[in-house]
Amino acid sequence: MNIGDKAPAFCLPDKDGNMISPADFRGKKVVLYFYPKDNTPGCTRQACAFAESFEDFKKQDIVIIGISKDSVESHRRFAEKYDLPFILLSDPELIAIKAYGVWQEKKLYGKVSFGVVRTTFIIDETGVITDVMPKVKPDTNAAEILKKLKGK
Say what the pLDDT of residue 152 is.
54
d(CA 37, CA 56): 25
User: Is 6 inside any structural domain?
Assistant: no
The DSSP-derived string for 25-43 is GTTSEEEEEE-S-TTSHHH
Query: For the chain, percent helix, then strand, then coil, each to nearest 5?
Result: 30, 30, 35
Out of 43, 67, 89, 122, which one is annotated catalytic? 43
Domain span holding position 141: 12-151
Residue (of 81, 80, 74, 98) closest to 13 by Cα position: 74
pLDDT digits (tens, 9 = 90+) for 58-115: 999 999 999 999 999 999 999 999 999 999 999 999 999 999 999 988 887 888 889 9
- pTM metric for this prediction: 0.93
Which CATH number covers residue 102?
3.40.30.10
User: Is 75 inside any structural domain?
Assistant: yes
User: Is 1 inside any structural domain?
Assistant: no
Q: Give SS3 for 124.
A: coil
Strand partners, 132: 121
Whether 48 sits among the annotated catalytic residues: the reply is no
